[in-house]
Amino acid sequence: MIANAILRFLLTPIRFIFFIPEMVTTLILGLIFGIPPIGFVYVIIMTIIWLPFYGFIFGTSWLYKKVPVLGFPLALIGIPIVIIINTFLQLMPNPDKKDKYNKATICDSFPFSMPSQLVGQVITD
């Protein structure tokens, strides 16, 4: 609980700071998405980049739940990495808003980011 509270406390000012750069990157890359092959390649590249992020977040959340003794070291390692992941998520536009919201929810709920712990929080079709 404390790790999640610290993470949310740190993410709030970071999201505020990166609000204007987020708008600029969304505008520039949004115009580039108008070219169909580039948008398709971008989505594939972002999916490949996100796979290790999912592995890290879900793996550390699983360890946090299964081995409570490792909670403090995992929080020390995980919180800065999740902040970097969240900043990357914020700056990179995503054509699918639900996908971006789900990724932000996974970052916000660290170290409780196991898929079974996110029931009712992520958006499904």
What per-residue confidence (pLDDT) applies to 80? 92
Q: What phi and psi values does residue 35 have, to the nearest 5 degrees?
A: -90, 110
What gap in Å lies between CA 99 and CA 104, rounded to an integer? 9
pLDDT digits (tens, 9 = 90+) for 44-67: 888 898 889 988 988 888 888 888
What per-residue confidence (pLDDT) applies to 102? 84
Residues sharing a CB contact under 8 Å with residue 89, sequence separation 6 or more, in sequence order? 100, 103, 104, 107
Instruction: Write down the mean pLDDT value for the chain.
Output: 83
Average pLDDT of 101-111? 84
| % of the chain residues with pLDDT over 70 | 91
What gap in Å lies between CA 72 and CA 81, rounded to an integer? 15
| Residue whose C-alpha is closest to residue 60's, from 100, 9, 117 | 117
Residues sharing a CB contact under 8 Å with residue 18, sequence separation 6 or more, in sequence order? 87, 90, 91
Judged against a pLDDT cut of 80, whether residue 5 lies above it is answered with yes
Q: What is the sign of the dihedral through the CA atoms of 100, 104, 107 and 113?
A: negative
What gap in Å lies between CA 18 and CA 6, rounded to an integer? 19
Band (pLDDT 50/70/90 cuts) for residue 120 is: low
Band (pLDDT 50/70/90 cuts) for residue 89 is: confident
Band (pLDDT 50/70/90 cuts) for residue 94 is: confident
Domain ranges of the chain: 2-114
Which run of H or of E encompasses 64? helix 36-66
Between 116 and 18, whose confidence is greater? Answer: 18
What per-residue confidence (pLDDT) applies to 111? 82
Q: What are the angstrom distances between the C-alpha of 3 and each of 6, 101, 117?
A: 5, 21, 16
